Structure 1
Amino acid sequence: MEYFMVPTQKVPSLQHFRKTEKEVIGGLCSLANIPLTPETQRDQERRIRREIANSNERRRMQSINAGFQSLKTLIPHTDGEKLSKAAILQQTAEYIFSLEQEKTRLLQQNTQLKRFIQELSGSSPKRRRAEDKDEGIGSPDIWEDEKAEDLRREMIELRQQLDKERSVRMMLEEQVRSLEAHMYPEKLKVIAQQVQLQQQQEQVRLLHQEKLEREQQHLRTQVSRGVREGLAHAAAVPLGSSGADSGPKVPGCQVSCIIITLSPCSSPWRPGLYIHPILLMAELRPGKVTLHAHS
């Protein structure tokens, strides 16, 4: 048995020949309506897909080239200068940036011109009124009407500006709150809890203060009642007696005052609270009783 060695440099040409032969056979069979073998059919499908892909790639490249040509015609450049695609993109970006700067400058200039026109239009009635006044033309009623109209117009403009600034401020505050809530949710929770705790402590303090005030008012009422009872008792004691029928009497002397001392006692509505001793001095005079209280 003999073996034939095929040179490696001839293998690609042989494979290419066989591939071309299969394509030709497939085309002839398709023209003659002869059924194809599975291998020939697969080769034909691959060839069709390859042709479709190549066609799509050609269209894509043509579209890209057309876009670069359009950009090249739009940007300012030297006539006859050949530019690569990277250079076209770079010059396009620079040109767009310069156009943006020019647009900003024109907008600022337009705003300044509008403000200048408004100032001129707003001052023209005043200037006209001054000229009419100097020449003695016109009546005060017309001047007052124009002045009121100018004031009304200025008020409307100021109100519109105020509403606009208020809406912008509210929008900015809402954005700040949303950003803070998004960035610091835990911190906001802690602050809310601290505020709630402070409010609760303030409520407890107010309730405690109201309770103390009620207790002091009740205490003052009780003390006033005791004073009135002591005064009544002092008025009921006859002159020259010490509050009872028995006891020493000093002839020829009159009682000028009665001293009543209330002993300290415990408060019935609040354990541990003691009433300070109160010294009552009732000065008896003809037709008049004067009470002095000392604590």
Structure 2
Amino acid sequence: MQSINAGFQSLKTLIPHTDGEKLSKAAILQQTAEYIFSLEQEKTRLLQQNTQLKRFIQELSGSSPKRRRAEDKDEGIGSPDIWEDEKAEDLRREMIELRQQLDKERSVRMMLEEQVRSLEAHMYPEKLKVIAQQVQLQQQQEQVRLLHQEKLEREQQHLRTQLLPPPAPTHHPTVIVPAPAPPSSHHINVVTMGPSSVINSVSTSRQNLDTIVQAIQHIEGTQDKQELEEEQRRAVIVKSVRSCPEAHTSDTASDSEASDSDAMDQSREEPLGDGELP
């Protein structure tokens, strides 16, 4: 705080003001800025004046050599060359003074600007910290974005290398293997092997065809065997059905014969009994 007050006091001594005048810090900063602006305008004016003087000196010293020799021949008492030399010397002296004044004003302006920057740094330290943090955060975000972009590019390149089409296969073999099944049903398991897993030769394809033919023959033979067994079963059933009525008829005949014989025996016994009663 003491350094800030000392800085304002030094600024107050540099800017034009009346003795005893009380100025606030904001007024001191405003007048300092106005004073710097006026110094810059004065510098511009002096530079223009310096340029004009340089042009005038060049015009005076830029006369042709023939004219100079003619003036040297005609030189006498009361020649105007002395006056021109004095005038050129005065111009050089003025240029030196102007240059010194410009250097002085430049040094004063640089000192004032440095004091203003130091005061702003003391008055707004938090703002400077926030700005520095924002700049640092932006740099970190930019670095993270660049790293993420590089990572994505590497992943895309890796995926492209993995997704390249494989070489065209020469064979697409299909292997059909009959699965074990009960006599009533027949199932065939079809296993298709991709070109990336198995590469079969012509002999393998021929063997697969032989396996298919054997499976078909096995199925046809099993079906013929089942049909033959079914016909035999039906013939046995028909024979058993036909034999059942004949057996029933023979049983009925034997029953009737037995009843007839019983009746005859009874009729024989009844007369004998009647004769013995008296």
Normalising by structure 2, report the TM-score. 0.28
Normalising by structure 1, report the TM-score. 0.26
